[in-house]
Amino acid sequence: MTTASPGVAFYSIGENCLGHGVLQRHGVAPLLTTPFSHTRSNIDYATQLVETDFVDMLTPRFLHHEQRYKTRMPVHSLYTCEAGLYEKSVCNGFEFSHHDVIDDAENRASYLRKAQRFLDGLSGTGPACFLYHYRLHRTQDIARVAAKLRRFQELCRARSGRPISVTMFTQRLVGSDDQRRVEFLRPDGIPVAVLHTRHKWCGTDPEQFWGRVDDDLFARMIGAFEFHAATAGTF
């Protein structure tokens, strides 16, 4: 399913793999893989990584293995985040969920390329749209995260000669199919899509975990965000 037309480069900036997966299966192109595409992270970690040009992303003294989800995961301990603002799985250190950057030299080299690709993208041409997935949890604060995304956008724009838009999506659970919809907000000037869904994007069912049950809503979201990025802020 293709929903975005050529011209806008999309980047996923967290909080997990879902954002990149949604963009990929909807045929968004160009879609560029970054250090945030397949990790567990949050906008605080992302801001610190970009502010420092990813210089310590692979520094050995900040990396260690932890047993998570019955898997030995590489975790980065340098970066900090605001307590209580994020779902617990994305605020316990910057997690390399699918790539062992400690023991595997090829994975380390891959992440160096991803970091350089992100930095090179800031000086690219044409509009770019950074998509942030704010995971549903009990103490969500969309306005607070939007303010952080605004700062991230200003940071990237200060280093860039291209139009950069930062956008966010999250979800609200509803009780019936006729309540499913996309609600668009703009706190602090950041376009936000709140998808009103029947199922939380998690668990063991891949249709729910990857949000495929809500692909109709994602199509509307991507179209709106692409239009926003392509028209320099119209939303």
Burial class (CB in 10 A: 0-12, 13-18, 19+), 209: middle
Q: Residues 36-87: pLDDT tens digits?
A: 999 999 999 999 999 999 999 999 999 999 999 888 999 999 999 999 999 9
**Range name among 46-50, 118-122, 180-184, 190-194 with the lowest pLDDT average:** 118-122
* Beta-carbon contacts of residue 77 (< 8 Å; ≥ 6 apart): 62, 63, 64, 93
Tokens of 162: 């291209």
| Whether the Cβ atoms of residue 218 and residue 26 lie closer than 8 Å to each other | yes
Q: Residues 8-41: pLDDT tens digits?
A: 899 999 999 999 999 999 999 889 999 999 999 9
Amino acid 2: pLDDT? 43
Amino acid 228: pLDDT? 83
Amino acid 4: pLDDT? 47
Q: Which residue has the tokens 């480069």?
A: 9
Nearest to 15 by CA among 50, 47, 42: 42
| Whether the Cβ atoms of residue 142 and residue 106 lie closer than 8 Å to each other | no
Average pLDDT over the chain reads 93
**What's the CA angle centered on 225, arms 219 and 226, to 5 degrees?**
90
| Whether the Cβ atoms of residue 235 and residue 184 lie closer than 8 Å to each other | yes
Instruction: With cut-offs at 50, 70 and 90, classify the pLDDT of residue 232.
Output: low
pLDDT at 104 over 90: yes
Higher pLDDT, 220 or 30: 220
**Range name among 1-5, 19-23, 27-31, 180-184 with the lowest pLDDT average:** 1-5
pLDDT at 1 over 60: no
